Amino acid sequence: MKKSRIWELDFLRGFAIFMMIFDHLLYDLQNLNSIFVNFWEVDNTFFNWLEDFGRLYWYSDLRFFGHLFFISLFLIVSGISYTFSKSNLSRGIKLLIVALLINLVTYLIDVIFDADVVIAFGIIHMYALSILIIYLIRKIWDNDKLIFFLGSVIIVIGILIEFWEFNYILQVRLVDIPGLVIGTKAYGADNFGLIPYLGIMMMGTVIGNSFYKNKVSLIPTRKITNKNFFTWIGRNSLLIFILHQFVLYGIIILVGYFYGYRI
């Protein structure tokens, strides 16, 4: 018998992913003058407005707090989902392989197109490594109180070191890798260190064990939401997250082409 999915987790994950995609779209828009080599020569009013709007959003408090909220929502839901998986070790390793492929693909795109899209240690890297670390900790001592305490400490450390203030580096050396993994250093287009995000995901596993012991929906009435757009995104989150930036870039370049822009 096929197990029914918990719709509210799919919905919340999908909503968080959708908002992250929106965030990345606005990042692309504020970067239009870097995407198109003749951006200032074409000088289209609409595209100029899009770039200004993207920049206004990107450096706003709305973006700062919204980004943190939706990332946290995604990781809490991911932590809850961790408690449902039969093999988190296998899942973590598979995601780590995906993360390494992202390294390779973004590096090749950067070399070929000089697109400045290299990802050294992004959200998929952090997510995969967090799964493996939580798996290891719970193998040694599967205690929710301990996990809650460790998660709280990691979050507090993140706040104390001001995790949102990246120390950007121009090239990645072997000595820089610990800083990239922890989150004190950043390189490229997507940066998510373990601090404080590992702590947030740890909290999610505690929530999962506390409120979803029976692995059933806490809001069973789902006639309307079962085929909801956000629920669909939540069920296909990994594939959508991997492909969305390529789709966004493709649409921007295609539309820009008809307005006379060139890459």
Residue-wise pLDDT tens digits, 79-132: 999 999 889 999 999 999 999 999 999 889 888 877 777 899 999 999 999 999
Q: Which helix (H) or strand (E) holds 168?
A: strand 167-168
Average pLDDT estimate for 15-21:
95
- Check whether 1 has a pLDDT greater than 80: no
The CA distance from 231 to 237, in Å, is 10
Placement of tokens 């943190």 in the chain: 68
pTM of the predicted structure, to 2 decimals? 0.92
Where does residue 176 fall: left (phi above 0), alpha (psi -120 to 50 degrees), or beta otherwise?
alpha
Token pair for residue 155? 């979050």
At residue 119, the 3 state secondary structure works out as strand
Q: Which helix (H) or strand (E) holds 186?
A: strand 185-186
The CA distance from 139 to 161, in Å, is 29
Q: What is the pLDDT of residues 30-59, one digit of tens each?
A: 999 988 999 999 999 999 999 999 999 999
Asked whether 261 and 42 are in contact (CB, 8 A), the reply is yes
